[in-house]
Amino acid sequence: MITGRPEQRDGQDHLVLDRTFAAPIEDVWAALTESERLGRWFCTWTGDPETGRVEVTWAFEDDAPVETYVIEECAAPHHLRVRNLHDDAGQVWILDARLREEGDRTVLTFAQALTGDHPVSDVGPGWEFYLDRLVDSVRTGQVSSLEWSGYEAMSAEYAAAFGGAAKA
């Protein structure tokens, strides 16, 4: 069962997913922003974030592509918004992570603007996988051991939930 949902933000379609952590907000923020911690579930980065740009290396994708990401907003430990630089506007990914505390838990609301050439039936299952890896890595303090197997089955549900032709 998918957890992502379509949502309008500032007149633009987004894919939005939530995850809840039995961890302090600062711990989840570190897992989203510190290169070593991010590398446990998604990617690593190099460079100086104070410049507003970092080089991201995908850790769990074929060919481990490297891309420049622009930090559009960083308000620790509550909000991070980034986008990659790409000559093709259809290949730009705008990612938004918002954290909030609810009692002794931290809730992440993650969103990707649906602006590109990639079908949400591919992107949705991918974010389900990566965000589950994030939860696993925060819980264990280790590199996530979750495997991709089974996530591809969510493609049809995403296509149906987003009208069948949504792009991300």
Any domain includes 168:
no
Calpha distance 127→90 (Å, rounded): 18
Any domain includes 70:
yes
Q: Which of 75-79, 85-89, 123-127 has the lowest mean pLDDT?
A: 85-89
Per the structure, the complete domain to which residue 115 belongs is given by 5-160
pLDDT, mean of residues 106-129: 92
Calculate what percentage of the chain has a pLDDT beyond 90.
79
pLDDT, mean of residues 124-133: 97
Q: How far is residue 47 from each of residues 26, 27, 87, measured CA to CA in Å?
A: 22, 22, 21
Looking at the 3D structure of the chain, how many domains does it have? Answer: 1
Whole-model pTM: value is 0.93
Q: What are phi and psi of 134, to 5 degrees?
A: -60, -50
Any domain includes 165:
no
Q: Is 103 exposed, middle or buried (0-12, 13-18, 19+ CB in 10 A)?
A: exposed
Residue 165 has pLDDT above 70, yes or no: no
Per-residue pLDDT reduced to its tens digit, 30-66: 999 999 999 999 999 999 999 999 999 988 877 767 9
Any domain includes 167:
no
> Where residue 75 sits, what CATH number does that domain have?
3.30.530.20
Q: Which of 15-19, 63-67, 97-101, 126-130 has the lowest mean pLDDT?
A: 63-67
Place of tokens 């949502």: 7
Query: Helix 120-140 to helix 25-33 angle, to the nearest 10 degrees?
Result: 120
Confidence of residue 167 (pLDDT cuts 50, 70, 90): very low
Any domain includes 166:
no
Kindly state the tokens that stand for 160. Answer: 């149906």
Any domain includes 119:
yes
At a CB cut-off of 8 Å and minimum separation 6, what does 73 contact?
79, 80, 81
Any domain includes 59:
yes
Any domain includes 133:
yes
